Every structure is written in structure tokens, then in C-alpha cells.
Amino acid sequence: MTDAKTRIDETVKANDVVLYMKGTKEMPQCGFSSRVAGVLNYMGVAYADVNVLADDEIRQGIKDYSDWPTIPQLYVKGEFVGGCDIITEMTLSGELDTLFEENGVAYDKDAADKIRAANA
């Protein structure tokens, strides 16, 4: 388990934004992963995607690492942000914009506004 924890820690610290998900950002393999990847893709956020289905150690390891039971999991600047429901709520409330702005993560503000307008 140490190997998985080390690999996760290195990935999370080496990338400004990381999404641990089922599948890839180009081809998500579950609805929750698809929703979060879709938000990030639409907002033009540059992020690393890690397919937990490709590595059982990482699939369990990420749950232990964050002490969070579900996937997807989003990390910004080394910090765990949340899963699908939290990211959805943060997107709609504007909190995700603020998080990106505070951490110097580039994103398309107009796209974020369009997501909120479409869900108002």
C-alpha cells in the first residue's frame, strides 16, 4: 500500500489539478466521473486524469489516501476538494471558480457562467 500512497502523493503534488476517476477525461467509464470531467473539460481546466480502473492498488489507495469512499476525487494544488456531488455544488455556487482563482488555476469564466445559467 505504501507504493500506491507514494505514487498518489507524487501525482497530487506534481500537478495543479488532478482527477482520480473511472476511465479517462476523453472516455469516462461512469456517470459521476463523466460529470466532473465534463465540468473541467468545458471550463477549459488543464488537469491530470488518473484512471483507477487501470490499477487496483490506486483504486483502493486513493480512497485510503483521502479517507473518502467514492470516486471520482478532485485535487487542487495537492488538496482534496471532493467528489461528484461536492464539485457539482461548488460549480453551481461559484465556489469552484473561487478555488481556481485563489490557486492560480486557469479556467474559462464564461463557460462556468454558462453552466450556472443552464442550471438556474
Q: What is the largest CA-CA distance in the chain?
A: 44
Euclidean distance between CA atoms 63 and 120, whole angstroms: 32
CA dihedral angle for residue 50, residue 19, residue 31, residue 25, rounded to 10 degrees: -60
Cα 111 to the center of its chain, rounded Å: 17
Euclidean distance between CA atoms 80 and 74, whole angstroms: 6
Q: Is the peptide bond between 28 and the residue preceding it cis, with omega within 30 degrees of 0? A: no
Q: Is 30 annotated as a binding residue?
A: yes
Q: Which residues are annotated as a binding site for [2Fe-2S] cluster?
A: 30
Binding site as annotated, residues: 30
